Structure 1
């Protein structure tokens, strides 16, 4: 038969309550006592019944991370960072992929699974101001990740979409580039990441006194390598002159690098290229890719800590927090003179 908490208490010579305190990492347990209980757990092979414990406490110790998809390396690396931050807080993470469709994103938030976890981290893709009521009516604590031009009644960890792309564009302008492509626009997007990053590109040009040229705005959707390569091939076929590329994420920047090399365009001598996200691959591409690091680990840790606070203090007066995350420009070979 499986060992019980009573068995552990007898072997360790302590009360069942003390065993429970050790399992739940209660701070007021002497180290010697904690060691005795842990040794007894190891000897007996005791495994706590977390399901029963969750039913008694009303907690599952599981949170959900809702992201568009894991094919995008940024979201895969974000998920890894969230899981590490959650593990430090004694939480497991359920990964929920909702695809690139607004209806699926709304469906994921409304699904009963979102009500069976302790809290939800939601990387916003397509929600807009019309979805405020949906977000307000959710009973599970929710922390939003990303940045959108919407005012929602939820905590929000904000990625520096606009400021980051402005810095990337200024980086190329200061290197003497004047025909810079905004690579990755979504023409129909007015509130999402693509729109915010295009706004940063516009701001940099305006500050430099340069006109905004629509012919240098290249749509890429979705933001995957293949789409980036195809969009760059089409731009090259059109014969539009350019000497710099600000890609709205690293995946399409890597695709663009491939297409440029296919036709003999040297990077950075002929065309300087910078991306956004600082995924691991950027350090090992040829040439290595300059990029904007949005602070993925800090985003994950901040979001998890904020969510845990909401979970542990449900009666606390709720005032939504908006927490901007710092970013940094990582200069590598693709823009280095």
Structure 2
């Protein structure tokens, strides 16, 4: 059977009653197309089964249609859920996302940022770095479309999307203090000077203790090498060996809190009656734990929307001004582990 010829862009334009340029604008996600026109052209594209020639488009526009999402670890639920939100946003704009995992390796992060062999594939990057230094960021091409996620410690030439980690950790700890808990521990402090997340959440924790008139007891502060369930289990076990024990624990991530919850179960410690437990990230696992985990909810959809929007504005040349700093909302969600609904 003879293979049916591929539908051309010109055929779509004739069927839709518009110019080939309008069809091209819809296919490439150009924003300045009337919504009714976009919907009509897209319906014709879907009906005729038109598929854009990616190689030809790349030669014509100088773009590949690929965006890179660079995260430390995809086995961390927060980054997996964030990746889903970013892919959804980019797909809606006509771009394909390639997800890359760095494991916090500075060489890997540097290669992708500085247009190494893999980094050069992408029209732009959404990058959540763990190990990049201010010098690394300063060495990058300031005109390259890059959006940074996570904690910002130095000014850069790149747009930055984040939550206020200090304020979020402060609110989480304050929630525990308002319950009348007086020995509020923390799991998730990090020894490395480059550990920006841990340091900012520690700062918020300490501020909330000061607000509540509670001492910042070093015996209640537990360092971890990684935000993993086993680390939460070990840190919580050590806290339960203390005399007196804490009556509340703020974990700097939900996976740490899940490990801590398991340690309490193993030792016969009731949550929240004996120890109230708070996590951070509000991943799906927190909502289905037993008891369900109270947590800080970063607005992941808002992070994805802002990051992809800022990136595409740079990719398309619609935005050439100075870097922008975008702070997205967060909320404390009270569930069973702190006596909430």
Q: Same fold (TM over 0.5)?
A: yes
Post-superposition shift, 1:105? 2.2
2:134 is aligned with 1:129 = yes
2:213 is aligned with 1:206 = no
CA distance in 2 between counterparts of 1:103 and 1:132 reads 13
Counterparts of 1:4-153 in structure 2, within 5 Å, are: 4-5=7-8, 8=11, 12=15, 17=20, 20=24, 23-24=27-28, 27=33, 34=40, 38=44, 42=47, 45-110=49-114, 111-135=116-140, 137=141, 139-153=143-157
Alignment check: 8 A CA contact 1:21 1:29 kept: no
CA distance in 2 between counterparts of 1:108 and 1:255 reads 33
Counterparts of 1:163-242 in structure 2, within 5 Å, are: 163-189=167-193, 192-239=196-243, 241-242=245-246
Gap change, CA 1:6 and 1:183, over 3 Å in 2: closer
Gap change, CA 1:114 and 1:203, over 3 Å in 2: same
CA distance in 2 between counterparts of 1:261 and 1:13 reads 63
Alignment check: 8 A CA contact 1:22 1:37 kept: no
CA distance in 2 between counterparts of 1:131 and 1:14 reads 50
Partner of 2:302: 298
Partner of 1:267: 271
Post-superposition shift, 1:92? 1.0
CA distance in 2 between counterparts of 1:107 and 1:228 reads 32
Alignment check: 8 A CA contact 2:209 2:216 kept: yes
Task: Report Cα offsets for 1:26-78 as digits up to 9, x if no partner.
Answer: 73698699569827x745x5432122112111122211111001110000000
In structure 2, the residue corresponding to 1:222 is in which secondary structure? coil
Where does the alignment leave 5 or more consecutive residues of structure 1 unmatched? none
Residue range with higher mean Cα deviation, 267-276 or 93-102: 93-102
Counterparts of 1:241-256 in structure 2, within 5 Å, are: 241-256=245-260
Alignment check: 8 A CA contact 1:228 1:252 kept: yes
2:184 is aligned with 1:158 = no
After TM superposition, the score normalised by the length of structure 1 is 0.89
Aligned Cα root-mean-square deviation (Å): 2.8
Gap change, CA 1:241 and 1:32, over 3 Å in 2: closer
CA distance in 1 between counterparts of 2:73 and 2:247 reads 32
Gap change, CA 1:186 and 1:28, over 3 Å in 2: closer
CA distance in 1 between counterparts of 2:293 and 2:16 reads 60
Gap change, CA 1:210 and 1:95, over 3 Å in 2: same
Post-superposition shift, 1:147? 1.2
CA distance in 1 between counterparts of 2:39 and 2:261 reads 60
After TM superposition, the score normalised by the length of structure 2 is 0.88
Where does the alignment leave 5 or more consecutive residues of structure 2 unmatched? none
Post-superposition shift, 1:270? 0.4
